[in-house]
Amino acid sequence: MTSFKETLESLVIAFILAFVFRAFTVEAFIIPTGSMADTLRGAHFRLTCPTCGHPFNLGWWGSGESPIPSTPQPVTSQQYSAQSINHSDFPICPLCGARFDSDYIARVSNGDRILVLKYLYFLSEPQTWDVVVFKNPTDPTQNFIKRLIGKPGQTVELIDGDVYLDHKIQRKPDHVQNVLWIPIYHSDYQPPADAPGRRDKNIWDLPFQPENPDGPWNIDQHRHRFTFSGSDNLETINFNRDRLRKSTQSFLAYNGSRNYASDIASDIKIAFTLTPDSPDGSVVIELGKYNRIYRAEIDFNGACRIINESDNQTILKQVQFPPLTPGMPVVVTYANLDHTLILNVGENQIQFIGDDDPQTWGYDPSNRLNIPSAAIAGVGPGFSLEHITLERDVHYTNAANGEIGAGAEGNPFTLGPDEFFVLGDNSPQSHDSRFWAAPEPLPNDIQYRQHVVPRDYLIGRAFFVYWPAGFHLHPNVRFALIPNIGDMRFIH
């Protein structure tokens, strides 16, 4: 009897502690929509492109854009077409451009389940780029999740997709930027010549093309390898400009073909695995923005430079890294991002931080086709490149459905005391501070301003996805009982 009493008391205490922990420390939420995709996913399909084999997610918008029921249901292609807002919400592969009709049968997966640190902001001030949960200012009975951009007293303005606070561009921390890159090319995912869904062959097939067809570059699509056999002259391969114009638009595969935003994201990153054949030679990367070329030179003896090719070959930064070892692969990345040029060679980094003013970089607000460029070149002895990727930065759009948002370029928005400005990572498909209507007055005659999250409405910071969409034991089993452990992650 004593043992039963002690056990019962222990269970009651555990229940009380769990309740207190949930109420005051950590609470679980489920992501209802795709406004934060692909950082966080609402109800969605997990797809694999039948043309190139690239896996990606497609949001489920359902009838009237309402989320699916709490229990996932099998959805056929006919149901998907019939229940969507229109028939254009079909998958488009972000890498090969294939648009494949929903002639598949797929099961809708629930949104990510996350943990939120409640009341954290009673102890510390929210930080720019935090992913925050808060009460919807236009309907406080709902909880929203977005990325915090502006804090009290700051002036927010979105210029060419970048965030400016008090006229200074906001450079994203590495842990945030790493989840915001959007893939637009990957050499490991290339469609075969007879693949279904191929279109615009000259644009989507082999987008890297050598300037000299008879030169030392060999692009082996089957082995996913670019080989440079060596040359005394600089030999270049360019990324197809028409392909880049399409790929850098504010399109997100998660949205299917809905809201196909045409804004150009001019911040891009190129990456590859480099294997030199000898201790001599060089590989060169060129990234263009606003019709200016910024060049990264990597000598295999370790000398590295970042050069403004459009300004009389001005050397912006140079450094001596350890020499590269012949036959040993090293990962190289080069990014033109938030008015910063960043070159990584293995564990070593060199960067040039530019001016905050976009006009200093050559930005012309009257030119909405600021198409970036990308090229790779080699000189000297040979080398090979594998796993070549191209990614673009998130582009925060200024308008939706013809409406200019708060904080848009030329329409800056200044926050008052205890007011915050938030944006969704899925910018073309996010209902956030830019477009909120004015909230209704509260019963105590408090009237919060339009476009802001009041401090009183902050719930906490999202910090961990503890249950991503799971796997099903069988197509006819309704519950996704198998945990997707590999996709559990901290939220940045």
At 8 the three-state DSSP class reads helix
Residue ranges with strand state E in 64-108: 74-75, 106-107
Q: What's the pLDDT at 85? A: 34
Q: What's the pLDDT at 265? A: 94
Does 117 have pLDDT greater than 80?
Answer: yes
DSSP state of 411: B
Class of domain 182-392 as given by CATH = mainly beta
Is residue 425 within 8 A of residue 177, CB to CB? The reply is: no
- Tell me the chain's radius of gyration from C-alpha atoms: 25
Is residue 164 within 8 A of residue 184, CB to CB? The reply is: no
Q: Which residue has the higher pLDDT, 25 or 203?
A: 203
For the stretch 308-331, pLDDT in tens is 999 999 999 999 999 999 999 999
Distance CA 338, CA 358 (A): 10
Does 460 have pLDDT greater than 70?
Answer: yes
Q: Other C-beta atoms within 10 Å of 315: how many?
A: 12
Structure tokens at 346: 């293995």
Burial of 139 (0-12, 13-18, 19+ CB in 10 A): exposed
Is residue 130 within 8 A of residue 459, CB to CB? The reply is: no
What is the end-to-end Cα distance of the chain in Å, rounded? 50
Q: What is each CA distance from 214 to 217, 220, 223, 231, in whole angstroms?
A: 8, 15, 20, 12
Query: What confidence tier does 2 reach under pLDDT thresholds 50, 70, 90?
Result: low
Residues listed for the chain? 492
Q: Which residue has the higher pLDDT, 442 or 351?
A: 351
Dihedral angle computed from the Cα positions of residues 46, 432, 113 and 466, in that order, rounded to the nearest 10 degrees: 100
Q: Other C-beta atoms within 10 Å of 116: how many?
A: 23
Residues of the chain with CATH 2.60.120.560: 182-392
DSSP state of 108: P
Q: Other C-beta atoms within 10 Å of 382: how many?
A: 16
State what percent of residues in the chain have pLDDT above 70: 82
Does 12 have pLDDT greater than 50?
Answer: no
DSSP state of 35: T
For the stretch 153-162, pLDDT in tens is 999 999 999 9
Q: If we measure between CA atoms, which residue out of 229, 234, 268, 221 comes closest to residue 249?
A: 268
Q: If we measure between CA atoms, which residue out of 284, 280, 303 comes closest to residue 294?
A: 284
Tell how strand 413-414 and strand 155-159 pair up: antiparallel
Burial of 256 (0-12, 13-18, 19+ CB in 10 A): buried
**What H or E segment, with its residue span, contains residue 283?**
strand 282-289
For the stretch 168-219, pLDDT in tens is 999 999 999 999 999 999 999 987 766 665 556 666 677 899 999 999 999 9
Structure tokens at 323: 């020499």
Residue with tokens 């459009």: 310
At 272 the three-state DSSP class reads strand
CATH 3.40.50.300 matches 21-42+110-179+400-492: no
DSSP state of 171: P
DSSP secondary structure of 344-393? EETTEEEEEE--S-GGGGT--TT------EEEEEEEES-EEEEEEEEEE-
Is residue 287 within 8 A of residue 336, CB to CB? The reply is: yes
For the stretch 407-430, pLDDT in tens is 999 999 999 999 999 999 999 989
AA identity, residue 355: D
Residues of the chain with CATH 2.10.109.10: 21-42+110-179+400-492
Residue 299, preceding bond cis, omega within 30 degrees? no
